[in-house]
Amino acid sequence: MATGSEDLSDQFQALRLFVEIARTGSFSKGAKAMRLSQPTASRIIALLEEQLGATLFSRSTRALTLTDAGTNYLARVQPILASLAEADAAVRGTGDLRGTIRISASSIFASRAIVPRLGTFVDRHPNLQVELTIDDRRQDLIQEGIDIAIRFGKLPDSSAAARLVGRWPLVVAAAPAYLKAHGSPKTPESLADHSFVIAGPVAGKELTFHQGDRQVRVQPKGQVAIDGAEVAVSAVRAGLGIAVASLPSFAEDLDTGKLVQLLAEWKLADIEAHALFASGQAPKPAARAFVDHLVEEFRSF
């Protein structure tokens, strides 16, 4: 007969396995992460579903997805496991972070702002696994198992917890080759005669320039539209047009002369970056620690 402690251990194993399968969308990958065989993992989940009286996963030959009951259960289970990890760390008294955190960010912000600041964090926490997901779309944090998502701009109404990690000016820039071929705009109005790479902050949006009491509105137009910030900057470097992006996106290219800032005496609105945690969940201690790290790093950016 199993003891109470064994029952509790089995229950936590089932919960961790459920979360891993939900995160990976695969019984085999979830089982591998838990160092279990796939038949054993299937048996554990079947028993969990039997105990709950609910189907957690919708299985087909093409995909494995969470049911509505599974999605709701995941939202409640993850905070429990996060709290357990926090309690373990507190008892150890070392501040040692363990486990895995999954961070989602756009391609350009990940490569130019996060990765250069990641080394000191992972060195400080050698037992923590960091998974950085590069994605320029907005995701379902719970469904995709994301602990932190970095989002730019105004946040939509949401029950997700968020923290401001940085605020930067929008910058207008172009490559020297483009300016040589088409001339350099001297005023916001003259941008009407230029071509933009349509991406990021200018995708279908009007720009408002400020200089003292003056205000000029410009509707960007261009032949090239790109759904991917890092690729869009590559297009600007190749001379395909003018672009508008946050300072972190352009900083390296401006410093090296690959891009030239335009209309520096005119100001565009600042853009904010927030770290989002999944709604209804207590953030993992490691997730909170990573956001603290970013906030501190970006103070001097």
CATH of the domain at 199: 3.40.190.290
| Strand residues in 135-220 grouped as ranges (E) | 148-152, 161-174, 197-198, 207-211, 214-218
Residue 209 in any domain: the answer is yes
Task: Please give the residue that has the higher pLDDT: either 8 or 215.
Answer: 215
Residue 1 pLDDT class (50, 70, 90 cuts): very low
Residue 262 pLDDT class (50, 70, 90 cuts): very high
Per the structure, the count of domains in the chain is 1
Residue 232 in any domain: the answer is yes
Residue 248 belongs to what domain range? 168-269
Residue 178 in any domain: the answer is yes
For 105-140, write each residue's pLDDT tens digit.
Answer: 888 888 888 999 999 999 998 888 898 988 766 666
Residue 258 in any domain: the answer is yes
Question: Distances from the Cα of 16 to the Cαs of 39, 57, 85, in angstroms?
Answer: 16, 15, 12
Residue 215 in any domain: the answer is yes
| Closest to 283 in 3D by CA, of 104, 6, 79, 49 | 79
CA dihedral 143, 148, 149, 150 (to 10 degrees): 180
For 216-261, write each residue's pLDDT tens digit.
Answer: 999 999 888 888 778 888 999 999 999 998 888 888 899 999 999 9
For 18-64, write each residue's pLDDT tens digit.
Answer: 988 987 888 988 898 888 999 999 999 999 999 999 999 998 777 78
Residue 20 in any domain: the answer is no
Using DSSP bridges, classify how beta strands 214-218 and 207-211 pair: parallel, antiparallel or unpaired: antiparallel
Angle value at C-alpha 81, between 7 and 89, nearest 5 degrees: 105
Residue 101 in any domain: the answer is no
pLDDT for 141 beyond 60? yes
Residue 177 pLDDT class (50, 70, 90 cuts): very high
Residue 177 in any domain: the answer is yes
Quick one: what percent of the chain has pLDDT higher than 70? 86
Full-prediction pTM beyond 0.85?
A: no
Asked if residues 259 and 284 have their Cβ atoms less than 8 Å apart, the reply is no
